[in-house]
């Protein structure tokens, strides 16, 4: 018998470690022989801790399980959810990037290989750099960190650059509220990221990689460090990776609590040991990146998707999707939600289907008021926009952005003026300080929204102008996109910006 | 949380800094190692790093102050970081943290009078599908309510 208990930090935050202890004790008491496997999460966070028991007829799911439930669980007296693959939320997904997450012990390299791991790297090892880059381009993969830039094109620039040293830098700063896909894959299937970085290294001729991992993720830091050591010991990293005759090695670096360091040039400054201020582009990091050398900077999910592209072929990946958004989107459904978690599916599904149907609306049971898509710099989408399909261009046309694909759901008790105010506060707190419209403008924005809150509705014109200035005059998307949440709140929920005045009258 | 050493030793600092000299971009790893050891970044560390990396003290100081993580003074014996970001707000995180701070009589970043607990804001812990979320000395907690948060704070000695 095998018993799977996740070690993902969301599962732990809901008591998975206590459950594991109770299971261990319960098994000993009953004299039952069973193997406990600490897997990643399947991503159905509302069911965590989700325990799976495999007695030979598939993996039967139970959840949420707390420590007090364990005696009933072990005595076969707890209701099961059936086979985990049959749970509708799971059954409806197309799992490519997350194919192994929650399935295996994250640090078991043999299990990784048995589930398709390293096949992509072996295939890439037999290809030339330019062929690897071409395959990546064919897949249609676009950056999952926010900007959606075609990954193959970025790699081509680095591949063609002449230099004695090139780098692969993985952006694992995942600062957006409502996002946890990077964390989940690093905790649940770290070798997929390592394999993706190795393939990137072979593709562009880089021998050294760094993962810039935010300090807010101590569990992910532990798992990634352990995985790198195992990969090195097993020859997945080192002087001759996967028999390619080429070298690649990597290190995990820990961030220091600055949201702006998720912006790629700020990240590079931080990695070099400087203040995390944003650099002007050009020069592109692809030509002058880490320590001035040609550097690929890619998000965790972009890189962790590369192995499956090489395993199954670029065309297989490109066959999923909508328009210019190819492959799968790893949606993170969060906030006030009945069924929250990670949902990987082909691009093209509508926002409303995700929110109402898959996620089941709010946790509070009240009507959905708004969904913030794409993190703190993303727009608040009202119900009227729920037919927007998940696609980079489609969201853009509807005044929003997909970003890192986080969805934060709010019920009708949300005060959108307060949410707009928070967006400005956040920008002021996290600004790198380089541009006046961002550094000073955000603080003015807070003051202006406070004026509106006191009943001075005329200040909405000021707020609109200020947002225009921030959009036009900011070097990076922190100052430049903060107007998205602010203006979407103001435009779609004008009542929240007017009620106080009426109440005062 | 390690309890900070009583006196910051110059030799210890030099040893930590030396350990990281071989890295590309050694500054952040050095600062993290120093803070892990001392509980904060002592004044002395600025001079040691500046000296060994051949930088000015002002440059090093500029780096230290840029990042939210680095402290200039020791924190309480336990650090409770409560998420203030949007997903946690959508499930009542703001009221929860404000009530807790009011009961403790401190503001964000403050330490209880008995030195037991420092409460810090954090903007997202990646636990956004099970908020409100917090982290107690590096240990994650989700789906917090007032009773649970009070219990955690009491356990930490607040
Ligand atoms: C303020 C700000 C924060 C960002 N944070 C992140 C982040 O946490 N993770 C990330 O991958 N990209 C982030 N980005 C986007 C990066 O600048 C960059 O586009 C990305 O890392 C490129 O990788 P990709 O092409 O694989 O998406 C951020 C951008 C800005 C302006
Ligand atoms: S917009 Fe803000 S965060 Fe971005 S470079 Fe300018 S000041 Fe820095
Ligand atoms: S002040 Fe820096 S871009 Fe305008
Ligand atoms: S918003 Fe609180 S954990 Fe992400």
Q: Let me know: does A44 contact A88? Beta carbons within 8 Å.
A: no
Q: If 0-12 CB within 10 Å is exposed, 13-18 middle and 19+ buried, where does residue A456 land? A: middle
CATH number of B78-155: 3.40.30.10
One-letter-per-residue 3-state SS of B72-89: CCCCCCEEEEEECCHHHH
Query: Among A380, A401, A413, which Cα is nearest to A485's?
Result: A380
Q: What percent of chain A is modeled with pLDDT above 90?
A: 98
Rg (CA), chain A: 23
Structure tokens given for A369: 């008021």
Which residue ranges have their beta carbon within 6 Å of ligand 1? A 143-147, 149, 171, 173-175, 260, 262-264, 297-299, 302, 476-478
Say how far apart CA B141 and CA B125 lie, in whole Å. Answer: 10
Distance in Å, alpha carbon of B154 to nearest chain A alpha carbon? 18
Residue A493 confidence (pLDDT) above 70: yes
- Residues with Cβ within 8 Å of residue A68, at least 6 apart in sequence: none
Res B8: pLDDT = 56
Name the residue ranges covered by the structural domains of chain B: 10-66, 78-155
A417-444 pLDDT per residue, tens: 999 999 999 999 999 999 999 999 999 9
**Phi/psi at A11 (5° precision):** -65, -40
Q: Let me know: does A391 contact A322? Beta carbons within 8 Å.
A: yes
- The DSSP symbol for B124 reads -
Interface ipTM: 0.96
How many other CB atoms are there within 10 angstroms of residue A375's CB atom?
Answer: 30
Query: Among A374, A380, A453, which Cα is nearest to A410's?
Result: A380
**Phi/psi at A321 (5° precision):** 120, -170
Res B9: pLDDT = 83
**Phi/psi at B35 (5° precision):** -65, -35
Q: Let me know: does A181 contact A402? Beta carbons within 8 Å.
A: no
Please list the residues that pair with A249 across neighbouring strands. Answer: A208
A329-358 pLDDT per residue, tens: 999 999 999 999 999 999 999 999 999 999
Res B6: pLDDT = 45
H-type alpha helices, A454-498: 459-473, 477-481, 483-492
Query: Mutual orientation of helices A181-188 and A190-204 as an angle, nearest 10°?
Result: 100
Say how far apart CA A236 and CA A480 lie, in whole Å. Answer: 41
Res A425: pLDDT = 97
- The DSSP symbol for A355 reads I
How many other CB atoms are there within 10 angstroms of residue B74's CB atom?
Answer: 18
Query: Mutual orientation of helices A300-312 and A129-139 as an angle, nearest 10°?
Result: 100
Average pLDDT, chain A: 97
Per-residue confidence band for A500, with pLDDT thresholds at 50, 70 and 90:
low
H-type alpha helices, A398-455: 416-430, 436-453
Please list the residues that pair with A238 across neighbouring strands. Answer: A248
Residue B108 contacts A, CB cutoff 8 Å? no
Q: What are the CA-CA distances from residue B108 to residues A12, A348, B26, B93 (Å)? A: 26, 42, 30, 14
Please list the residues that pair with A106 across neighbouring strands. Answer: none
Residue range A416-497 in CATH 1.20.1440.230: yes
Res B158: pLDDT = 87
Q: Let me know: does A61 contact A4? Beta carbons within 8 Å.
A: no
Smallest CA–CA distance from B26 into chain A, residue: A273
- Residues with Cβ within 8 Å of residue A256, at least 6 apart in sequence: A215, A270, B28, B31, B32, B67, B68, B69, B70
Res B1: pLDDT = 45
Please list the residues that pair with A295 across neighbouring strands. Answer: A167
B45-96 pLDDT per residue, tens: 999 999 999 999 999 999 999 999 999 999 999 999 999 999 999 999 999 9
Residue A499 confidence (pLDDT) above 90: no
Name the residue ranges covered by the structural domains of chain A: 2-88, 109-319, 324-411, 416-497
In whole angstroms, what separates CA A297 from the centre of its chain?
A: 15
Q: What percent of chain B is modeled with pLDDT above 90?
A: 93
Residue A393 confidence (pLDDT) above 50: yes
Residue A505 confidence (pLDDT) above 50: no
| Strand ranges (E), A173-246 | 208-213
Domains A2-88 and A109-319 share a fold: no
Residue A259 confidence (pLDDT) above 90: yes
Question: Collapsing DSSP states into helix, strand and coil, what is residue A40?
Answer: coil
Question: What is the mean pLDDT of the segment spanning A32-52?
Answer: 98
B87-116 pLDDT per residue, tens: 999 999 999 999 999 999 999 999 999 999
Q: Computed from CA positions of residues A261, A266, A270, A274, in that sequence, does the dihedral angle turn out positive or negative?
A: negative
Res A418: pLDDT = 97
Contact B142 A256 (CB under 8 A): no
Per-residue confidence band for A324, with pLDDT thresholds at 50, 70 and 90:
very high
Structure tokens given for A218: 């101590």
Q: Which CATH number fits domain A2-88: 3.40.91, 3.40.30, 3.40.1350, 3.40.50?
A: 3.40.30
Please list the residues that pair with B117 across neighbouring strands. Answer: B78
Residue A466 confidence (pLDDT) above 60: yes
A276-315 pLDDT per residue, tens: 999 999 999 999 999 999 999 999 999 999 999 999 999 9
Contacts of A430 in chain B (CB under 8 A): 123
Smallest CA–CA distance from A47 into chain B, residue: B130
Question: Collapsing DSSP states into helix, strand and coil, what is residue A59?
Answer: strand
The answer to whether the CB of A478 is under 6 A from ligand 2 is: yes
The answer to whether the CB of A437 is under 6 A from ligand 3 is: yes
Res A504: pLDDT = 46
The answer to whether the CB of A436 is under 6 A from ligand 3 is: yes
Question: What is the mean pLDDT of the segment spanning A213-219?
Answer: 98
Q: Indicate which residue's Cα is closest to atom 29 of ligand 1.
A: A263
- Residues with Cβ within 8 Å of residue A375, at least 6 apart in sequence: A146, A175, A176, A177, A178, A179, A403, A404, A406
Identity of the residue in A216, A276, A337 whose CB atom sits nearest the CB atom of B66: A276
B118-141 pLDDT per residue, tens: 999 999 999 999 999 999 999 999
Question: Collapsing DSSP states into helix, strand and coil, what is residue A291?
Answer: helix
Contact A257 B68 (CB under 8 A): yes
How many Cα atoms sit within 13 Å of B18 on the Cβ side? 6
Say how far apart CA A468 and CA A478 lie, in whole Å. Answer: 14
Distance in Å, alpha carbon of B124 to nearest chain A alpha carbon? 5
What architecture is domain A324-411?
Roll (3.10)
Question: What is the mean pLDDT of the segment spanning A175-200?
Answer: 98
Per-residue confidence band for A396, with pLDDT thresholds at 50, 70 and 90:
very high
DSSP secondary structure, B14-68, as one string:
HHHHHHTTTSSS-HHHHHHHHHHHHSS--HHHHHHHHHHHT--HHHHHHHHHHST
Cα-based torsion angle of the residue sequence A233, A151, A301, A290 in order, rounded to the nearest 10 degrees: 60
Contact B86 A180 (CB under 8 A): no
Q: Let me know: does B150 contact B143? Beta carbons within 8 Å.
A: no
Say which ligand is closest to the CA of B87.
4
CATH class of A109-319: alpha beta
What's chain A's length in residues?
A: 505
């Amino acid at each position: 018998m095998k018993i799977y208990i996740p070690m993902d930090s969301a599962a732990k935050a809901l008591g998975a470690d206590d459950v594991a202890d109770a299971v261990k004790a319960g098994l000993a008491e009953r004299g039952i022989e069973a193997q406990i496997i600490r897997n990643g999460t399947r991503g159905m966070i509302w069911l965590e801790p989700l325990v799976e028991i495999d007695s030979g007829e598939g993996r039967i799911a139970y959840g949420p399980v707390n420590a007090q439930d364990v005696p009933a669980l072990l005595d076969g007296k707890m209701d099961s959810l059936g086979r985990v693959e049959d749970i509708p939320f799971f059954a409806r997904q197309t799992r490519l990037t997350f194919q192994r997450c929650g399935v295996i012990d994250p640090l078991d390299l043999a299990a990784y290989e048995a589930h398709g791991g390293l096949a992509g790297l072996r295939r890439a090892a037999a290809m030339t750099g330019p062929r690897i880059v071409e395959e990546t381009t064919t897949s249609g993969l676009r950056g999952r960190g926010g900007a959606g830039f075609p990954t193959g094109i970025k790699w081509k620039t680095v591949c063609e650059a002449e230099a004695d040293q090139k780098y692969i830098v993985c952006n694992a700063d995942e600062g957006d509220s409502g996002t946890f896909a990077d964390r989940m894959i690093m905790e649940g299937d770290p070798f997929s990221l390592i394999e993706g970085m190795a393939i990137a290294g072979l593709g562009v001729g880089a021998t050294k990689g760094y993962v810039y991992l935010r300090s807010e993720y101590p569990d992910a830091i532990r798992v990634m460090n352990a995985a790198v050591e195992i990969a090195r010991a097993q020859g997945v990293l080192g002087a001759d990776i996967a028999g390619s005759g080429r070298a690649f090695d990597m290190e995990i670096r820990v961030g220091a609590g600055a949201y702006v360091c998720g912006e790629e040039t700020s990240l590079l400054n931080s990695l070099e040991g400087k203040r995390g201020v944003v650099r002007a582009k050009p020069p592109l990091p692809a030509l002058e990146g880490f320590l001035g050398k040609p550097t690929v900077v890619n998000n965790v999910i972009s890189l962790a998707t590369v192995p499956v592209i090489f395993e199954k072929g670029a065309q297989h990946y490109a066959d999923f999707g909508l328009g210019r958004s190819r492959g799968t989107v790893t949606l993170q459904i969060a906030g006030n939600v009945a069924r929250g978690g990670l949902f990987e599916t082909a691009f093209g599904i509508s926002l409303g289907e995700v929110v109402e149907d898959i996620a089941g609306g709010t946790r509070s049971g009240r009507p959905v008021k708004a969904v913030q898509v794409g993190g703190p710099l993303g727009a608040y989408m009202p119900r009227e926009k729920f037919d927007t399909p998940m696609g980079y261009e489609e969201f853009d046309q509807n005044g929003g952005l997909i970003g890192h694909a986080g969805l934060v759901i709010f019920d009708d008790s949300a005060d959108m003026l307060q949410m707009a105010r928070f967006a400005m506060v956040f920008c002021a707190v996290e600004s790198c300080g380089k541009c006046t419209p961002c550094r000073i403008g955000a603080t003015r924005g807070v003051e202006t929204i406070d004026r509106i809150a006191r009943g001075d509705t005329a200040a909405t014109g000021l707020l609109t102008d200020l947002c225009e200035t921030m959009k036009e005059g900011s070097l990076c998307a922190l100052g430049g996109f903060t107007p998205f949440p602010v203006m979407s709140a103001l435009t779609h929920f004008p009542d929240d910006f007017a009620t106080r005045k009426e109440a005062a009258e | 949380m390690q309890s900070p050493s009583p006196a910051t030793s110059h030799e210890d600092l030099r040893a930590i800094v030396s350990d990281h000299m071989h890295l590309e971009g050694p500054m952040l790893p050095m600062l993290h190692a120093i803070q892990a050891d001392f509980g904060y970044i002592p004044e002395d560390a600025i001079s040691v790093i500046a000296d060994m990396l051949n930088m000015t003290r002002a440059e090093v100081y500029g780096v230290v102050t840029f990042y939210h993580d680095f402290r200039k003074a020791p924190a309480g014996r336990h650090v409770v970081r409560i998420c203030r970001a949007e997903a946690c707000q959508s499930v009542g995180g703001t009221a929860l943290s404000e009530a807790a701070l009011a009961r403790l009589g401190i503001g964000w970043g403050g330490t209880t009078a008995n030195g037991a607990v420092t409460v810090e804001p954090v903007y997202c812990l990646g636990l956004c599908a099970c908020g409100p979320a917090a982290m107690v000395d590096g240990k994650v907690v989700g789906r917090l309510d007032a009773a649970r948060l009070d219990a955690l704070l009491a356990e930490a000695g607040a």
